[in-house]
Every structure is written in C-alpha cells, then in structure tokens.
Chains A and B, each alone.
Chain A
C-alpha cells in the first residue's frame, strides 16, 4: 500500500509521517511518532485510554484516521508537563494515588485537562460526567475524582 503523507503538529512540534490510509491516529501516534503514552484499550471508542486532543477537541484517537489529522494539531499526554515540571493534574494524580496499573491514566489526564480548561471549578457530578468516557478498572474512580478536584483548586490559585 502506498503511504499517505500526514503533516501535523503534535504537542506543538511539526511532525510528518507516511502511513496506510486506513491506519488509526492511535496506531500512528504510537508506532510512527513514538508517543506510547496513548494507550489502546478497546479500540472502539468505549474506554478512553487513547484520548487526545485534535484541534483542541477531546477525541478517542482510535476513532480518528491518521489521514484526517493532516494539517491539524494533536495534543497527547507527552505534552502535558513543562519539561521536567509535571502538570498539576499529574502531581495530584500521584499525591492522591489516583492510579494503580496506569493504563487508563494518560487518557484520564487528557480528559481532565479538557474539562478544567472549559470549567475551572467543576462540581463532583460534573467531573464524573466529564470523565464518563474514560474507564478505570483499578481505582473505583473516587481517587481520580479527588485528584481532579485538588488539581482544579491548585490551578485556580495561579
């Protein structure tokens, strides 16, 4: 199969790669851009482990063709920290032990960031609804909700 050339911006950096036309953006990010923070859980848009932003909209990268990303901007968990300085969400996830196996964590971080950008002071209910597209089989969600609340509080100080 001839490669489809995709020119995109990932976490602010211009990235070019060639891929088959039917390849998902998830597979391209992992296997061509080397961004393995994006995880494949279900591959059908149910679990949210592959959550990224595409032109500032939260999407499942398994439900996007890489070819669609041509000329668009992609944000992944790798772009969350400022160099070695972790994002408040990352700090609070660690502090509150909001993860165990960690497979779902990058997706939760991206979704939580998208939520806090729209709504800096979400209620617990709003957090739970906003994160309903992300599944976690370890934590029971409570610690994740607490971590997001703590990060929101921290981010409002700035």
Chain B
C-alpha cells in the first residue's frame, strides 16, 4: 500500500487520478481503517488529506459557513458561531460515535462513506448544504443530496475528493434540528434519523426541508412532508400530516435494530418532534 500525504487538494486529486488500483481518501479514518482491518478493502493507495491546511478550516463569510473536509466532529462542537447558526447539523455530527471517534470523524467522510444511516447527512441535506469537489481538471460545487447514489456508493469521479462542505447563510427566522432514534442511549446506528430546516414569515412556515435517514437505500428529501407544514403554524393537523407523509416515504430494511413497520412508524413520530424543535428555534410560537 502506498501512503501519500499531499499538501494541496489539487495534488490529492492528481494522486487519485494516477493510481491504477483502488485508491482511498483518508480524513478521520473511522470508517476506512475499520474496512481495512476487516479485509473488506485492500487499498493500493491511501491519500491522507490532513496535511492540506484548507481542509482544517471553518470559514464564516457572507455566503455562509464552510467546513473543511478534515474538520472533526469535536472541532465542530467547539465552534460557537457554527453551533448558533446550524445547531441541527452540529447535533447530528456529534451523535456519531464516542469522544474518541469525535476527535477524528468528519462530515465529508460521513457523506462519502454513504451509509444509509449516516447521521450528519440528513441534517446537511435539510440545511441545503453543498459539497465543494476538487478533481484533477476542475472544481465543482454540488448539492449534498446529489452525492450519495446508494449504500456505499457516491457520484464522485475517480479523481475527485471533497474539499469542504458549504452551509448557506442562516436567516434570522430560520433554524434546523436533527433527531435520531437508536435502541440504546448513545453510540449506536440510527434506526431512523430526521433532519428538518424551517424558515418562518410572520410566525408561519414559509419554506421547509424534511429529510429522512436510515429508512431507504439513501437519505431522502421528502417534499410532500415539507408541503404538509408550509403555510401552517405547525398545528396538530399539520404535525399529523407531516408524520403521515414521512411514514409514507419510508422504504426501510428489517434488521435487529428495527422492523420495517417500526421504522416506518418511528419516522413519523421523530419528524413531528424534530419539526417542533426547529420551529421553536426559528422563533415560532
């Protein structure tokens, strides 16, 4: 195995492009090293991106907040401005693993690992986040929901890596929330995850994004669920309609953590709860 630690994303992309065998990006390594240990992958090349300084940056600008691909969950949890603007995204990222894992795990890695149950991904999609992708010849910025194509697969090309995740500017009457359900109190894989982002106008929901995780092969943006609450003050009927739309959208698996019926029902319940949190955070009453 070749191990490279370039200092620019451009160099990293060139390394990926030039490798004939299987090449992998190493950021936090919390998924990659497990897969290597299990023998499910045998990389010919591992490119450690942590010597690339731009990947460690959290930048706050008029456009929003960009989070470098090497920024760990622990670092996100220490950034007051990020937490204030996007509490749901930070909560989702911080639900991943133990403190040991938090020191290393990244949201870009969570996205690229493409697990249907990835905690940070529904929150990122709800937030309208974009991934800044660097390839050998070009850079492109893509909506996060366009990255995951199925369990463990992404739309990234061979020479491409994510440099940062861009969260849009949060407006004064907007907020997000993420909730997940697991059988234990912590450190488990989501049975259902729900990310919600709301924008209010005069106390009424003007726009919404509702995203479900762990109930389909990829996280799903449920536009019917958003329509169920837009134009409302999140009254009982709106919450009921939201829950029904979320349950309707589920296409989950049966496993030891939850049956199809259970996941489908819990998706609705969690969506209701997450919506109430986001609504209050946005200043709704």
Residues of A whose CB lies within 8 Å of any CB of B are 4, 20-22, 24, 43-45, 48, 51, 54, 57-60, 62-65, 67-68, 70, 111, 114-115, 129-130, 132-134
Cα distance A129–B98 when bound, in Å? 8
Say whether B29 contacts A63, CB under 8 Å.
yes
Chain B neighbourhood of A133, CB < 8 A: 97-101, 187
**B164, CB-defined interface residue at 8 Å:** no
Interface string of B76-98 (1 = CB under 8 A from A): 00000000000000000000011
Q: Shortest distance in angstroms between B131's beta carbon and chain A's nearest beta carbon? A: 24
State how many angstroms separate the Cβ of A30 from the closest Cβ of chain B: 15
One of B3, B26, B50 near A4 (C-beta < 8 A): B3
Q: Is the CB of A21 within 8 A of B30?
A: no
Size category of the B interface is: 20 to 34
By beta carbon, the residue of chain B nearest A50 is B100
A sample of 10 more A-B contacts (CB under 8 A), given A45-B30, A115-B99, A132-B99, is A21-B2, A21-B3, A21-B46, A45-B33, A45-B100, A62-B37, A65-B33, A130-B99, A133-B100, A134-B98
B145 CB–A CB distance under 8 Å: no
Q: Which residue of A lies closest to B50 (CB)?
A: A68
Q: Are B36 and A22 in contact (CB under 8 A)?
A: yes
Whether the Cβ atoms of A129 and B34 lie closer than 8 Å is no
Q: Are B97 and A45 in contact (CB under 8 A)?
A: yes
On whether the beta carbons of B99 and A114 are closer than 8 Å, the reply is yes
Measured in the bound complex, the distance between the Cα atoms of B38 and A139 in whole Å is 29
* Chain B residues engaging chain A, CB cutoff 8 angstroms: 1-3, 5, 26, 29-30, 33-34, 36-38, 43, 46, 48, 50, 72, 74, 97-101, 103-104, 186-187
How many A-B residue pairs lie within 8 Å, measured between CB atoms?
Answer: 83
User: CB distance B37 to A60 under 8 Å?
Assistant: no
Q: A65-B46, A132-B187 given as contacts; is B99 within 8 A of A58 (CB)?
A: yes
Query: Contacts A64-B29, A65-B33 known; A57 to B186 CB distance under 8 Å?
Result: no
- A50 to B35: give the CA distance in the assembly, Å: 18
Interface residue SS majority, chain B: mixed
Expressed in whole angstroms, the minimum distance between the Cβ of A40 and any Cβ of chain B is 11
Which listed residue, A63, A65, A132, touches B30 by the CB 8 Å rule?
A: A63
Question: Nearest-CB distance from A154 to chain B (Å)?
Answer: 22
How far is the CB of A116 from the nearest CB of chain B, in Å? 13
Q: Which residues of A contact B3 (CB under 8 A)?
A: 4, 21-22, 65, 67
Max chain B CB contacts within 10 Å: which of A43, A67, A70?
A: A67
B101 touches A45 (CB 8 A): yes
Which residues on B sit within 8 Å (CB–CB) of A132? 98-99, 186-187
Q: Is the pair A63, B26 in contact by a Cβ cutoff of 8 Å?
A: no
- Cα(A50)–Cα(B120), bound, Å: 26
Closest CB in chain A relative to B98 CB, distance in Å = 2
B99 touches A111 (CB 8 A): yes
B26 CB contact (under 8 Å) in A51, A68, A130: A68
By beta carbon, the residue of chain A nearest B187 is A132
The CA-CA distance from A55 to B100 in the complex, in Å, is: 13
Structural contact, B48 and A58, CB atoms closer than 8 A: no
Q: Given that A21-B3, A22-B36, A133-B187 are contacting pairs, would A63 and B104 also be in contact in the complex, using a CB cutoff of 8 Å?
A: yes
Chain B residues near A22 (CB, 8 Å)? 1, 3, 36, 43, 46
CB contacts (< 8 Å) of B99 on chain A: these are 58, 111, 114-115, 130, 132-133
B-side contacts of A51, CB under 8 Å = 100
15 pairs, A vs B, C-beta closer than 8 Å: A45-B97, A45-B101, A48-B98, A48-B100, A51-B100, A59-B104, A65-B26, A65-B29, A67-B48, A68-B26, A68-B29, A70-B5, A129-B186, A132-B99, A133-B97
